[in-house]
Amino acid sequence: MINERFQYPSNRTDEAAGTRNGYDCPVFPETGDVLIYDASLLDILYQGRLVELREMAESRKISKSGSVEVLRARLIHSIVLKDLDLSWDGIQSMSHSELGEILKIFGIKSSGSQRERRQRLWLHLNFDSRRMTIERLAEMDRDELHELCVRLEAPLTGNRTVLMGRVAGVLTNQLNGWGRIKRSLRRNGLKLSTTDISPPTQENFELELEGLDIDFHSDSPIAVIEDAHDSLVLGIDTLRPEIQQDLKLVSSYASEIDRIVGTILRGSGGVWGEAQRELMIRLSKRRGWPVDDETVRSRLSRVSTDIAEIRGARLGEFGGMSGNSILREQVISESSSLRIREKMEIADSILREIEP
């Protein structure tokens, strides 16, 4: 039986053979209801870059504002789960297992109690995790905090400070559980069957690397710089004081981080992978930035990767194929490896020239 709230037609064909014809069909054990969605479309949304997601939103007359993760969540809601009631009332009516499956579709943490799942889903659908911070709560009046407590199912009594503490408690408990899809999904997607898709040849991969024509010279928009700054200091209140100080200092160099990312991309032919991230950390150390702690390095690496993605980089060890293709795990031919090493040497020489 199909749950009426989902309003999806049955597509459970050829189950004995284990094939789903491009659709995934999670069954909720509590009710036996089935939620059907287009996994191939979801896979595209998981791996889409900001410019690609904006084009998709524009073509479907969906708002294209917000960061890449906000837009990704909006598109999943509007396209993949378009017939599902994800209002606050709709979320409240969902069972524990239904909430878990829907959180998985959005690509975020799916474990926790039923109330925690409701909170996480509502936050993911309504806020940008980089802007909904404890610092932001300090700017809200009591009515706004009271409304948040209602939506987050927190006690409603008390003055403004008490209400702010309750909302802050929820945000701390949900830290890193919403607002950004899992890294494995962003990199590799759903790993759908590729039996009907011819794998990219090494020759085509090399041609794509050579054919990049993206301008990495200009600075990113101010909104990107501000997002980078905010991401570096997000939730630092839970960290040790010395780490907080290091992250605040590194965040003050957000514009410089953007400039270095652009220079690295110029030298690597638009590729952003592990080698480029390591180069970013190495250059930061040369500049005397406090990046010895793993927490600081991890945040700087993640922010640098986000900037590279927004600039149009090809993500992966040696760059990803465009669209819904599979990331190459390695470059097979010796000549290709040599050419990529040469590009990295050029990047190093360029960066040495711009170092203070």
pLDDT tens-digit series, residues 147-161: 999 999 999 999 999
Closest by CA to 321, choosing from 201, 216, 185, is 201
Least confident of 57-66, 162-171, 186-195: 186-195
**With 60 as the cut, is the pLDDT of residue 165 above it?**
yes
| Residue 174 is assigned to a structural domain of this protein | no
| Residue 128 is assigned to a structural domain of this protein | no
Pair 213, 338 in one domain: yes
| Residue 91 is assigned to a structural domain of this protein | yes
pTM score, whole prediction: 0.50
Q: Domain total for the chain?
A: 2
Domain that holds residue 203: 194-354
C-alpha dist (Å) from residue 254 to 78, 220, 301: 33, 11, 12
Residue where one domain finishes, among candidates 89, 105, 121: 105
pLDDT tens readout for residues 12-25: 333 333 333 344 45
Pair 198, 100 in one domain: no
**With 90 as the cut, is the pLDDT of residue 145 above it?**
yes
| Residue 325 is assigned to a structural domain of this protein | yes
What pLDDT sits at residue 188?
A: 78
Residue where one domain finishes, among candidates 105, 140, 164: 105
Pair 74, 211 in one domain: no
Is residue 202 within 8 Å of residue 185, measured between CB atoms?
Answer: no
| Residue 187 is assigned to a structural domain of this protein | no
Closest by CA to 230, choosing from 316, 324, 133, 320, is 133
Residue where one domain finishes, among candidates 105, 129, 156: 105
Q: Which two tokens stand for residue 58?
A: 């524009």
Span 137-154, mean pLDDT?
A: 93
Pair 85, 226 in one domain: no
Q: Which two tokens stand for residue 162?
A: 């008490």
